[in-house]
Amino acid sequence: MLRKARTNTVYSTDDDFVPAHKRPSPATRSLPPQEQTAEIRREKKGRGGKTVTAIYNLQLSAADQKELCTQLKKACGCGGAVKEDCIEIQGDQREKIAAELQRLGYKTKFTGG
């Protein structure tokens, strides 16, 4: 008799883990920049000592999120990626990113340590 393999996570030590059925769905329509506050923080945990700057809490469609990521990468002169609901830019680029987002009309807020 074969047993069915368990595919659901029962326990996780990752503080940021959110089960798939509880994750918010990506926005289908973007809010105007004037109505949004971007949270910017530096992250290092789980990245092999490398630092990235993460931008959270933007309600953007997938296409707009990718376009904003491209603009921020050009402004900072470095690489980056869109991961789930977050834009990640390589290195500690908080000041440059905040200036670029404010130029585009977003309100910015530094979070984390």
CATH code (residue 66): 3.30.780.10
101 with 69: CB under 8 angstroms?
A: no
Pairwise CA distance, residues 70 & 81, whole Å: 9
78 with 90: CB under 8 angstroms?
A: yes
- Rg of the chain taking only CA atoms, in angstroms: 17
Residue 7 lies in a domain: no
Question: pLDDT of the chain along its 113 residues, tens only?
Answer: 566 666 665 666 666 666 666 665 655 678 888 999 999 999 998 888 899 999 999 999 999 999 999 999 999 999 999 998 899 999 999 999 999 999 999 999 999 86
Q: Residue 38: which of 86, 92, 96 has the closest Cα?
A: 86
Residue 3 lies in a domain: no
Residue 4 lies in a domain: no
DSSP string across 28-43: SSPPPGGG-EEEEEEE
Tally of domains within the chain: 1
Boundaries of domain holding 70: 29-110
CA distances, 50 to each of 5, 34, 41, 113 (Å)? 35, 32, 14, 16
Residue 75 lies in a domain: yes
89 with 68: CB under 8 angstroms?
A: no
pLDDT of residue 52: 95
pLDDT of residue 30: 83
- Give the HSE-up count for residue 3: Cα atoms under 13 Å, Cβ half-sphere: 3
Residue 19 lies in a domain: no
